[in-house]
Structure 1
Amino acid sequence: MARNELRPIIKLRSTAGTGFTYVTRKNRRNDPDRTVLRKYDPRAGRHVEFREER
């Protein structure tokens, strides 16, 4: 029960405008703000920023 509250599943959407997403979990206690990660976007063919969606 507590696991879902502490580590929710989040979507990371590409800022390149391709619509590509990654799905992952994050720890709300360590990262209360929206996460921004730099990951590979296969549709854009390069590394871009991915922002958290809820």
Structure 2
Amino acid sequence: MANTRVHVKLRSTESHHLYVTTKNPRSTPQRLEKRKYDPVVKRHVLYRESR
């Protein structure tokens, strides 16, 4: 059985910071959006998937 998970970059909407995570493109074809902690601005902000 093949592993279908792919690595994606989540980039902050308020700074240059990014997180790297994985997702299953079959179950989540749209781009990810998550609220995560941004150490540059020292608070939680929206992170969006970048390509």
Aligned length: 51
Unaligned runs of 5+ in 1: none
Please tell me the root mean square deviation across aligned C-alpha atoms, in Å. Answer: 1.3
1:52 deviates by: 0.2
Distance 2:47 2:27 in 1: 19
Q: Give the TM-score normalised by the residue count of structure 1.
A: 0.86
Structure 2 residue aligned with 1:34: 31
Unaligned runs of 5+ in 2: none
The structure in which a higher percent of residues are helix is: 1
The structure in which a higher percent of residues are strand is: 2
Q: Give the TM-score normalised by the residue count of structure 2.
A: 0.90
Structure 2 residue aligned with 1:9: 7
Identical residues among aligned pairs (%): 52
Distance 2:43 2:29 in 1: 28
Distance 1:30 1:19 in 2: 28
Moved over 6 A (4+): none
